Amino acid sequence: MPQPSALTDDSRATSFNPTAVLFDLDGTITDSGPAITSSIAETLNAFGYPARSNEDLLAMVGPPIRDGFADHIGVPEHQIDDVVADYRTRYNDRMLDAPLFPGIADVVRNLHARGIPLAVATSKRQSLAAVIIQHAGLTPYFLTVRGASEDGSRSTKSQIIEDALADLRAADADLRRTVMVGDRHYDVDGGKEHGLATVLVTWGYAAPGEADHADVIVDSHEALAEVLA
């Protein structure tokens, strides 16, 4: 199996020359891990679950939060609605505290200045994602912000990418060379399902091995800008 290209400040690879770019949010644009994991930890404590390591909690940053509680923690179906509601109350109070990763806003602005259509595709609820992007001052640069539906009927990364691509297509964006940028294997796998080139950023929350199927791995915003040049 071919290995993904690693791109750092000291090594350069051929640009994708993208015609459109999709960005994940948590772990890619915003350093939301502390806000999410502290909210999860407080919820688990409130419901009497054992404390988890920070590594365990970070594994829940990326997929839909309902799936994280059910699959990773083992919260039973009869309790999942109450647990998720408790988490959301705690997280909503601190979600705007998450800073942008260094340099990522410049990457977004520069792509927009070049006329490249941009979208956010995140497993976070769409209503929250829109508020976070607006709070970061990035709303003018994205044609669409797509996230999980409020009722959870569309929550997988593949579904969310599909919705973002539909919005870009409706705006007459050129999708021939669309790139998905994210920090978890969910972003890579979801992008691949739609035939997109994929870039995994290492400043997020991926566990070892999650980058195996990405087309390119980048270690800095400068490297990301280069591969999207």
Query: Tens digits of per-residue pLDDT, 83-131?
Result: 999 999 999 889 999 999 999 999 999 999 999 999 999 999 999 999 9
For residues 103 and 144, state if they share a domain: yes
Q: Give the tens place of pLDDT for each residue, 198-209.
A: 999 999 999 888
Q: What is the DSSP string of 26-42?
A: BTTTB--HHHHHHHHHH
Question: What domain range includes position 144?
Answer: 5-32+99-227
Split at pLDDT 50, 70, 90, the class of 4 is low
Same domain for 66 and 78, yes or no, is: yes
Kindly report, residue by residue over 157-171, the tens digit of the pLDDT: 999 999 999 999 999
- What's the whole-number average pLDDT of the chain? 92
**In terms of domains, do 57 and 123 share one?**
no
Both 120 and 154 in a single domain?
yes
Residue 75 makes CB contacts below 8 A (sequence gap 6+) with: 47, 49, 69, 83
CATH number at residue 50: 1.10.150.240
Is the predicted pLDDT of residue 7 greater than 70, yes or no?
no
Are residues 168 and 111 part of one domain? yes
Which tens digit of pLDDT belongs to each residue from 127-162? 999 999 999 999 999 999 999 998 888 989 999 999
| Per-residue pLDDT, 8 | 42
Task: Please tell me the number of Cα atoms within 13 Å of 119 on its side-chain side.
Answer: 29
Name the domain boundary from 42, 71, 97.
97
Type of residue found at 44 = L
Domain closes at, from 51, 74, 97: 97
Map tokens 């870039």 to a residue.
Answer: 199
Q: Report the number of distinct structural domains present in the chain.
A: 2
Which DSSP string corresponds to 37-106?
Answer: HHHHHHHHHHTTPPP--HHHHHTTSSS-HHHIIIIII---HHHHHHHHHHHHHHHHTTGGGPPBPTTHHH
Cα–Cα distance between 43 and 85 in angstroms, integer? 9
Q: Is 42's pLDDT higher than 90?
A: yes
**103, two tokens:** 């340099």
pLDDT tops 90 at residue 194:
yes
Last residue of a domain, one of 49, 68, 97: 97
Select from 91, 158, 157, 98 the least CA-distant residue to 123.
157
Contact 104, 203 (CB under 8 A): no
At 211, the pLDDT band (50, 70, 90 cuts) reads confident
Residue 109 has a pLDDT of: 98
Percent of the chain with pLDDT over 90: 82
